[in-house]
Amino acid sequence: MGILGLLSALFDGGSSSVQTRPVDSSTHAIVTGSSVNQREGPSTNNRVMGQLAEGTRVSVLTVQNGWSQIASPLGTGWMSSNYLAASRGSVPTPTNNIPSSRTVSASEVRVIDGDTVAIRGQQANVRLVGFNAPETGSPACNAELQRGLQATNRLRILLREAGSIQFQRVACSCRPGTEGTRQCNYGRQCGLLSVDGRDVGRILIGEGLAVPYRCGATSCPPRPGNWCR
């Protein structure tokens, strides 16, 4: 059964009269095409955020007119439901029973740098996906350090001034069986963080304090961004 058929059966008995349906945060899907576009909106007219490889696991947030809003290593975006196969429960839930998607307060989030945070209740630090901020721990030059400190401070301000903060846990782009170990992302978890409905990574990218960083299903390319030029 395709993703639309399963979600319809789960949430409205198969009726097609409702065009937009929220999806339980425990619903996941697998990308079935060899290289499928993820877009910023539910239409081929929207900008392509990147491609997801076959077998990539994503969280399904909403379905709308043949499109699914998903959370993936690229961030939150949209994909044609024709390229998704339902796989309820295929992504392991955290052992501490904290939901994969939840609202948090600014006091629950400690900013480590521009793309890494610690969130109360999570067992490890969280690497925010979809972007890469300048390094502060091991910068290649003083210019990178200064830009990294700016990104870190800007993320703190975004969280402090936000009316609402949403955290979405996503699977890391690592070899199967390695997530949660040093072999996967230095033991960090992966996630998305949004303030007032806007992904923090996109905000930092738009302000020149980060660059897009797109990973595949099981690995990531070298870190982008030359901050020493």
- Measured CA to CA, the distance from residue 101 to residue 107 in angstroms comes to 17
Average pLDDT over residues 6-12: 42
Band the pLDDT of 19: cuts 50, 70, 90: very low
- Measured CA to CA, the distance from residue 60 to residue 79 in angstroms comes to 10
Band the pLDDT of 12: cuts 50, 70, 90: very low
User: Which pair of structure tokens corresponds to residue 107?
Assistant: 């006091």
Is 215 in contact with 173 (CB distance < 8 Å)? yes
pLDDT digits (tens, 9 = 90+) for 54-83: 778 888 888 888 898 888 877 888 999 888
Burial class, 44, CB count within 10 angstroms (exposed 0-12 / middle 13-18 / buried 19+): exposed
Longest dimension (CA), the chain: 59
> Please, which residues have CB within 8 angstroms of residue 171's CB and are 6 or more apart in sequence?
57, 73, 91, 179, 190
pLDDT digits (tens, 9 = 90+) for 130-153: 999 999 998 999 999 999 999 999
Domain positions in the chain are 3-86, 101-213
Residue 227, CB half-sphere, CA atoms under 13 Å: how many? Answer: 25
CATH number for the segment(s) 3-86:
2.30.30.40
pLDDT digits (tens, 9 = 90+) for 178-217: 877 888 888 898 999 999 999 999 999 999 999 999 887 7
- Measured CA to CA, the distance from residue 136 to residue 122 in angstroms comes to 23
Q: Is the pLDDT of residue 23 over 50?
A: no
pLDDT digits (tens, 9 = 90+) for 100-114: 578 999 999 999 999
Handedness of CA 131, 132, 136, 141 (dihedral sign): negative
CATH number for the segment(s) 101-213:
2.40.50.90
DSSP 187: G
